[in-house]
A and B are shown apart, each in its own frame.
Chain A
Amino acid sequence: MSYVVGLKCRECGRLYPKEVLNVCEYCFGSIEVDYDYDAIQRTLSRAAFASRPKSLWRYRELLPIEGEPTVGLSSGFTPFFRAERLADTLGVRELYIKDDSVSHPTLSFKDRVVSVALTRAKELGFDTVACASTGNLANAVSSHAARAGLKCYVFIPADLEIGKVVASLIYRPTVVAVEGTYDDVNRLCAELSARYPWAFVNVNIRPYYAEGSKTYGFEIAEQLGWCAPAHIVIPAASGSLITKIAKAFKELRRIGLLAESPTKLYAAQAAGCGPIAAAIHERSDIVKPVKPNTIAKSLAIGNPADGYYATKAVLESGGWAEAVSDDELVEGMQLLAETEGIFTETAGGVTLAAAKKLIKQGVIPRDESIVLCITGNGLKTQEPLVNRLGQAVRIKPTIASFESTLAGQLAGASTKR
């Protein structure tokens, strides 16, 4: 049973059948999936969720598939928890973390979009899937395609972190390392998608793919007790996650599962690639493309596909944006690890560092609920940390060596329990 009515242009409102289409054929506007919300409202209640499996598919009425889900059955429903020690450090009262750094199976929120995209790609009859990726998406497409038995091509910038390259290669897709930036990869894939009959998940089946990000928002609301936070800080690459979290809360309100309580959205970017943050700071709807220069490679999109909509969503919510330096984002990674025991990737460091700045500036108030979106895992992006964390203490396997090497640290420590 599907509640999808069809596809609809966000700009001119033209309607299309639920096929393979990513831009309005008339005005090139963005294509959105349109649902029968009245019918969904009649079916869904908060109580209905209690008996459902803890995966992203518990929200399947609000996802763009026709039949039963076939991909990513164990993905989603990641941890959400109150971050007391980090809250103390930042000087705020109520802070939460939505932690997709432990997403099953590829340790980033991209498992969500790919579960939806590949389920839909199979329904549409594709036997080959592909993507343009800064790394995490390539990992997710490669993994889920392997399990689904689909042929797979992933396109990445040639200078990606080795952890992200290996974490695709292991599934034996064809990994194509393109000499250029992500924006070059994306343009190439846009052109290739017209030549090859493949499902490029974030290009020609993007309207279905992008809907998967809503589940990150649905879960936050459900895990917060069917309540939306006052503030949410979201990392921005293409800007799609921002627009889909906004859509998730809006849909839950539309079908009566969430009270009218506005959430302010904040975009977090790296200073070396902050076109969305720059547009927000200028209160402009023109997102000027940039040439990325940051260690936060998963956010290094200089020409963000959903930049216009993300900027609009943030400004309409009354939120704001912040861009942080590479040093600040590494400090953010360390702070999250030291206070909450979570090793996030560079993008998570950007989110935390941006939140810290926004709180310090008084833009995010200290006494209201705040959610930080942690979307990826630090084991994939170790390069920027290698020379910044100090070294392991090396000793001989003797008590004497231990005590002499750590003499300073052990001074005054008891040897009895």
Chain B
Amino acid sequence: MPVTVRIPTPLQRLTNGQDEVTCDGKTVAELLGDLEQRYPGIKERICDPQGKLRRFVNVFVNEEDIRFLQGDQTGVKDGDEVSIIPAIAGGSGVAK
């Protein structure tokens, strides 16, 4: 079940420069696991050693903050769009 994941600039080095990638999974947690399989090293940047999302990372499923849904157990399905965005009011990193 392909889901589109938008990658913030600081992590694009790990996705070969792609700002959007496709992943599989039934939940956000599964999606992040699959992301790690495809792009090794990316999960530790998004999650702490306990596997919880880091304080300064927000995740959105179809534009809704997953903290208003079921957190990393939020379900995702074919065609959904997931955004990973740094919490400090922005997502761009080096924009120019």
Q: Residues of A at under 8 Å CB distance from B?
A: 11, 19-31, 124-126, 132, 180, 183-184, 186-187, 189-191, 193-194, 196-198, 200, 202-204, 206, 238, 288-289, 291, 303, 305-306, 308
Contact = CB atoms under 8 A, between A and B. Distances in A.
A257 B84 CA distance: 43
A23 B58 contact: no
8 contacts: A20-B96, A23-B93, A28-B10, A30-B88, A184-B63, A190-B92, A197-B95, A206-B88
Contact of A194 (B45, B89, B92): B92
A200 B9 CA distance: 15
A22 B67 contact: no
Interface in B45-96: 45, 54-58, 60, 63, 65, 67-68, 83, 85-96
B90 A25 contact: no
B93 A289 contact: no
A187 B67 CA distance: 14
Interface in B1-38: 6, 8-10, 19
A204 B8 CA distance: 12
DSSP class of A's interface residues: helix, strand, loop or mixed? loop
Contact of A186 (B56, B68, B89, B92): B89
Contact of B65 (A124, A206, A289): A289
A194 B88 contact: no
Candidate in B9, B86, B87, B94 with the most chain A CB atoms within 10 angstroms: B87
A19 B94 contact: yes
Contact of A190 (B10, B85, B94): B85
Nearest to A126: B96
A187 B89 CA distance: 8
B68 A289 contact: yes
Contact of A28 (B6, B83, B87, B92): B87
Contacts of B94: 19-21
A206 B90 contact: yes
A27 B56 contact: yes
B62 to A, nearest CB: 12
B83 A191 contact: yes
B96 A22 contact: no
Contacts of A288: 67
Contacts of A305: 87-90
Given A24-B10, A306-B88, 13 more contacts: A20-B95, A21-B93, A27-B56, A30-B88, A187-B58, A187-B60, A190-B91, A190-B92, A193-B90, A194-B92, A203-B91, A238-B89, A305-B89
B6 A191 contact: yes
B65 A303 contact: yes
Contacts of B86: 22-23, 28, 190
Given A194-B9, A305-B87, A22 B93 contact: yes
A289 B67 contact: yes
Contacts of B89: 22, 132, 186, 190, 202-203, 206, 238, 305-306
A19 B67 CA distance: 32
A203 B10 CA distance: 14
Nearest to B85: A190
A206 B93 CA distance: 11
Nearest to A303: B65
Contacts of A126: 96
Contacts of B85: 187, 190-191
Nearest to B8: A194
B70 to A, nearest CB: 15
B96 A194 contact: no
A23 B90 contact: yes
A303 B58 contact: yes
A186 B85 CA distance: 11
B46 to A, nearest CB: 9
A124 B93 contact: no
A59 B57 CA distance: 34
A308 B54 CA distance: 13
Given A186-B89, A194-B9, A23 B56 contact: yes
A25 B91 contact: no
Contacts of B68: 289, 291
A273 to B, nearest CB: 14
B47 to A, nearest CB: 11
